[in-house]
Amino acid sequence: MVEDVDLLSVQEARTLLRRAREAWNTLGHFSQDKIDGIVAAAARAASDASMELAKLAVEETGYGVVEHKFVKNKFAAVDVYRFIKDMRTVGIIREVPEKKLYEIAEPVGVIAAVIPSTNPTSTAIYKILISLKARNTIVLSPHPAAKKCIFATAEVMRKAALAAGAPQGSIECMEHVSIEGTQELMKNRSTSVILATGGMGLVRAAYSSGKPAFGVGPGNVPAYIESSANLVKAVGDVLTGKSYDNGTLCCSEQALICDEAISRQVREQVTQQGGAFLTAEQMRAVEKIAVLPSRLANPQIVGKSAAYIAEKAGITVPSGTRVLVAELQGVGREYPLSIEKLSPILAFYVAKDWRDACERCKEVLRYGGMGHTLSIHSQNRDIIMEFALQKPAYRIIVNSTATHGAVGFSTGLDPAMTLGCGAYGGNITSDNITPLHLINIKRLAFEIRPVDVKAAVAEYSRQEPAMTQVPSPAAGGGLPTVEEQVARFLSRRGLAGSSPTMVSPAANPATERETDPARKQTPAPSPTAALEFVSEQDVRQALEDGRKLPIGPDTILTPSARDLGNENSVFIRV
């Protein structure tokens, strides 16, 4: 008898969601101590099983490296747990005494978690822990190519959670997987929030399900090596990030961009540290097997080693090659290897200088990585800040691998396996997702200002003229003076007290400019407070307002701000 997998999958989704909803009616009322004990037990069980689960994942999917998946599993079970273990997620989580305001955590309910094949076990561990910590139950929908290892992960953590007091149904995982079943899981009225990790089609389906959803966009991550960087470490970081678990993390480096002035040294380091530059003929051979006509990565090479890809492409590379490097002249459909490849294939670009590199990074991000991650290797703080201010990426990783930095392994970012891309990537958040994203906050607010309408009318009627209407000079109030207007403007920009001294309101500035040439050439007295940081936008605003910007030895100037400011004599040195 042939079973209808689609119908089985839909029915299973409904059954598991019903169990999870019933379990949540109990779990959602647990104390902080009870929840923390359950989370600790589940994390410990996942940590103990990390190597076994890593082997299952590689055996079933054929993706990645066992040792690297082991580290990912440990990161999810140990690092993520350490980050969340003391987090308040039950009852009053914040008090603001001066406002008589209290914030109270409320669980959202049942989490529908879609798990990818590229990082199956580590993502499952992470999503289970953050869901339980927020007092939510969870139902997992595995990728069909990784359903055995994901189900095994859920079982390990389910048994531990039950032993610690979690109700039956707190952790569930589908065994019969289909598109229809996953759609039912996301759309069913028992589902409260969706945690979707996968391709853009899946993420769009999650957002169109009618349920609140945390989806993530693709990560076509550029890595820029600037002339002042420690080249040995910078190249090592890029190749380590690109080859880690054979490039299966969406935050792994996809393109290396370096300055022309250091391109020879960078090439040498790439070759010395395990990168193999492809000839034009070899590049075409790799393109054929790595990139589909739709300009998506071919699943047949995702998570495979450089040696495996080279063999399939029919090319020869040196023994020990970690990464295949393709030097490209542009980004887009005409350059197939400029996409996110999810394998140890790295695009390589040479830029004239940091400004040219800046534009190339933007091109790479626009071609499938908007809002995700960018890395920069540099010792020039001004250029680092310029990149942070100008790039359409929400994680700027400095002097570290993008792969490990974005998830919070090598940086201070919140440790997570789901990385939001914000509005740039069509996501609801730009955060690394934590338990705090899976709670609602109830606010208890006491009266701090008695309501008296007559008194309020009288109070607002006494507000300064600028708050109601601008008086005419005939009314006796007069228009705000130039000094007052400048002071208000600077105050709004947080620069109060830094404005240049203005001419006396009793004087006639126009007359004095005409009759006193010496006064025309006399600069305004210098302010005493130097600004801490000046960007190009600050300079443009100062030019528009006719202001000078006070700077000192410790002021941080972005390169474009310095050029524009010096060109227009905007700066006053104090």
DSSP one-letter string for 379-414: S-HHHHHHHHHH-SEEEEEESS-HHHHHTTSSSSSP
**Exposure string for 212-233, b = 16+ CB within 10 A, e = fewer:** bbbbbbbbbbbbbbbbbbebee
SS3 labels along 214-283: EECCCCCEEEEECCCCCHHHHHHHHHHHHHHHHHCCCCCEEEEEEEHHHHHHHHHHHHHCCEEECCHHHH
- Our measurement of the distance from residue 229's CA atom to the centroid of its chain's CA atoms, rounded to an integer in Å, reads 24
SS3 labels along 311-378: HHHCCCCCCCCCEEEEECCCCECCEHHHCCCCCCEEEEEEECCHHHHHHHHHHHHHCCCCEEEEEEEC
Sign of the CA dihedral with 377 first, then 383, 389, and 391 last: negative
535 Cβ contact list (under 8 Å, min separation 6): 385, 386, 389, 558, 560, 561
CA dihedral 312, 315, 319, 324 (to 10 degrees): -80
Residue 251 annotated to the active site: no
51 Cβ contact list (under 8 Å, min separation 6): 66, 70, 73
CB atoms within 10 A of CB 472: 10
Catalytic residue among 149, 173, 250, 421: 250
> Quick check: helix, strand or coil at residue 423?
helix
**Exposure string for 287-303, b = 16+ CB within 10 A, e = fewer:** beebbeeeebbbeebbb
Q: CA–CA distance from 293 to each of 289, 334, 424 (Å)?
A: 10, 11, 25
What is the set of active-site residues? 250
